[in-house]
Structure 1
Amino acid sequence: MAVLGAAMVAPGAVAAVSAGVVKPPRLRPGDVVGLIEPAGFTDDAFDLDLVKETVVAMGLVPKPARHLLQRHGYLAGTDADRAADVNAMFGDPAVRGVFATRGGWGCARVLPYLDFRTIRVNPKLLIGFSDITALHLAFAARAGFVTIHGPNAGSSWPRFSWDAFRAVAFDGATPLLVNPEGREDRLVQRDWRIRTFRGGKASGRLLGGNLTVLSTLMGTPWVPDFDGAILFIEDVSEQPYRIDRMLTQLSLAGVLGKVAGVVFGQCTDCGPDGASYGGFTLSEVLRQHLGALGVPAFQGALFGHVASQFSLPVGCRAEIDADAGTIRLLEAAVR
């Protein structure tokens, strides 16, 4: 078994494909991959050049969508145009995978315009995170194939993130995802720590992504069934009371009561402001919500709005160990 974390060793054997979840084809060197912007815009062509160079460095051939570099307010084109780019990439037989170049806001707005009949019969890896969560969840609900919650094409892609992505998307590995050891000059490590709210192991389908996006999709037809799932969530620039509010919404909607386990990844810049002094910390909020579920739950896995992050295949079965703070894939994401 491959272990992705401290050592980032070579990937291991491919697990058997489970029934009921369609696996997209793996990426191979020389494959054409589409570049889309379903949410925020890129306003500098030089930034897009960097994205293309990143994709080429992966051994892939970038194919920019027709409406890339358009702008409509704070969006990368109109809802119809952004959706048309998604539909075109999944309908193009030459395209083997689809990268979001960035997040922002806007993916939920394109959902009614997506051609899920075409998308469903052309399973391809969709890669991205943050606002791309809306697409991951909608694909899980409507398309039935695996997607990858991982860096956007425009992310910085340090070695850790690239090795994690390559193992899942190219090699079809089933790694054990472990946070690396901290490199601080301290007697006790403080970076990349795990906090266990309830110990034990649990297995189920990986479903989740950005907490804000997930919570705003509650009550819509774009949310998959979380019964028996491993819920993974992360966020950025949210104060503890807002995390509290969103977790309360998931609880009241019945999602938290269905899951087999929970992993809260990184919450970047999520501390209280001065006016909240004396309130709950983020860890206290998470303990209140997750510790009482009666299922394994922990905080601190490396995914979210951080440079170094795991690639999590949405829809794949995985096992979490809340005491060790690990995620182990039980099947390959690709065929």
Structure 2
Amino acid sequence: MDRRHFLQTAPLGALAATGGGAAAAGRAPLLRPRRLQPGDTIGLISPANASFEREPVALATEALQALGLQVRLGPHALSRRGQFGGTDAERAEDIHRFFADDRIAGLLALTGGSGCARIVDRLDYGLIRAHPKFFGGFSDVTCLINAIHRQTGLVTFHAPFAGSTWTDFTTRHFRALVMAGEAPLLQNPRGEQGGDLVQAHDRAWTVRGGRARGRLIGGNLAVLSAMAGSDYWPDFQGAILFLEDINEYIYRVDRMLATLRLAGALRQLAGVVLGQFTQCTPGDGNYGTLTLDEVFEDYFGGLGVPVYRGAMIGHIPRKFTLPLGAEAEIDADACTLRLLEPAVR
């Protein structure tokens, strides 16, 4: 499914009101949310697109209940204005409400789509920092998980939506990281040939070998590049960057990576993990276009840092959960990412 379809508020807090937040004051101290536990209540929000049918919401609720969690829908989680899950004020209000409510252990987006950039400057980051808790999503929610981490220091999660396909692989990784407080080794499944002579699916491969340590940042490339120059963009210094995307022509992927390079982000990195670039093709009638192999080599091959491709990150049924801000070690020769500390307390 396409990323675009996959998917009055309180004043800004003190951190945001300084005119630059963490960007002006330096990196905020790291905050770890409390781990989710069976019996906890998780709040479902629609910060991007609306949910148009009842069944996906029912399936999302049942999946989280199967994890042992109780579910509460945000007051505006089923609202709609155009393609969005309510007005900008309503979508921001649900986030504020759930962060302020100590009965809610965490927030998870129902789906993605578009629209998070419309509310990122409406959030009260002082309120969020005062009530640190789990916050997760991916795709367009890349905007919010990076902004909240940058402005508050809270570890946020590139995680499946409530409405994602909760495969065994996806569920195991979510539970291990968010509920059990483990610091797992993230590695693509191996030896699953499915009747083929060699493993043909879920492969990962080295772009440039080596090992490095750094804080995890990243998410959807299109959304991340659109944040360039704002106070909500990640701090790339010494970080391990992970990227994914869906349904973008290769020339657009090239342009987005050029934005990161021109903004100075790429030269600051300690390592790069490239996830799935699903259905990112040359497009009809584009003769002689660069391949994704060539684009990635052009932008990452000469950085002098470890890089690998094919990680289980993106718009795919089986995916990792990744904590933004947590320390990790990349081994690009083994195509692994090891968390060096629990992301929750």
Q: TM-score of the superposition, structure 1-length normalised? A: 0.93
Is 1:326 matched with 2:336?
yes
Q: How does 1:259-270 map to 2 (within 5 A)?
A: 259-270=269-280
For each residue in 1:26-49, what CA deviation from the matched residue of structure 2 results, as whole angstroms up to 9, or x when unmatched?
010000110000000001223212
2:141 matched residue in structure 1: 132
2:199 matched residue in structure 1: 189
Structure-2 separation of matches of 1:183 and 1:94: 46
- Note the C-alpha offset of 1:139: 0.9
2:301 matched residue in structure 1: 291
SS at match of 1:267: strand
Structure-2 separation of matches of 1:149 and 1:163: 15
Q: Could you tell me which of 89, 92, 102 is aligned with 1:80?
A: 89
Q: TM-score of the superposition, structure 2-length normalised? A: 0.90
Q: Could you tell me which of 132, 138, 156 is aligned with 1:123?
A: 132
Structure-2 separation of matches of 1:248 and 1:129: 22
Structure-2 separation of matches of 1:184 and 1:281: 27
1:10 matched residue in structure 2: none
Counterpart contact for 1:318–1:330, Cα < 8 Å: yes
Q: Could you tell me which of 194, 212, 217 is aligned with 1:202?
A: 212
Q: Which runs of no fewer than 5 residues in structure 1 stay unpaired?
A: 1-18
Count of residue pairs brought into register by the alignment? 317
Q: Could you tell me which of 67, 73, 76 is aligned with 1:58?
A: 67
Structure-1 separation of matches of 2:153 and 2:130: 10
Q: Could you tell me which of 287, 310, 313 is aligned with 1:303?
A: 313
1:30 matched residue in structure 2: 39
Across the aligned residues of Structure 1 and Structure 2, the Cα RMSD in angstroms comes to 1.1
1:4 matched residue in structure 2: none
Q: Could you tell me which of 322, 326, 333 is aligned with 1:316?
A: 326
Structure-2 separation of matches of 1:20 and 1:222: 16
SS at match of 1:67: coil
For each residue in 1:50-102, what CA deviation from the matched residue of structure 2 results, as whole angstroms up to 9, or x when unmatched?
11111111100001000011110111111010000011110101000111010
Corresponding letter in the other structure for 1:313: P
Structure-2 separation of matches of 1:291 and 1:197: 7
Counterpart contact for 2:228–2:263, Cα < 8 Å: yes
Counterpart contact for 1:45–1:69, Cα < 8 Å: no
Q: How does 1:89-108 map to 2 (within 5 A)?
A: 89-108=98-117
Structure-2 separation of matches of 1:326 and 1:21: 24
Is 1:153 matched with 2:159?
no
Structure-2 separation of matches of 1:279 and 1:218: 26
Is 1:178 matched with 2:168?
no
Structure-1 separation of matches of 2:149 and 2:106: 16
Is 1:277 matched with 2:287?
yes
Structure-2 separation of matches of 1:295 and 1:66: 46
Is 1:242 matched with 2:232?
no
1:217 matched residue in structure 2: 227
Instruction: Choose 46-55 or 283-292, whichever is displaced more.
Output: 46-55
1:5 matched residue in structure 2: none
For each residue in 1:277-309, what CA deviation from the matched residue of structure 2 results, as whole angstroms up to 9, or x when unmatched?
332111111111110111101110001000000
Is 1:46 matched with 2:46?
no
For each residue in 1:134-182, what CA deviation from the matched residue of structure 2 results, as whole angstroms up to 9, or x when unmatched?
0111011111111110110000110000000000001110111110023
- Note the C-alpha offset of 1:185: 2.2
Q: Which runs of no fewer than 5 residues in structure 2 stay unpaired?
A: 1-27
Q: Could you tell me which of 71, 75, 80 is aligned with 2:80?
A: 71
Counterpart contact for 2:193–2:200, Cα < 8 Å: no
Q: Could you tell me which of 143, 147, 151 is aligned with 1:142?
A: 151
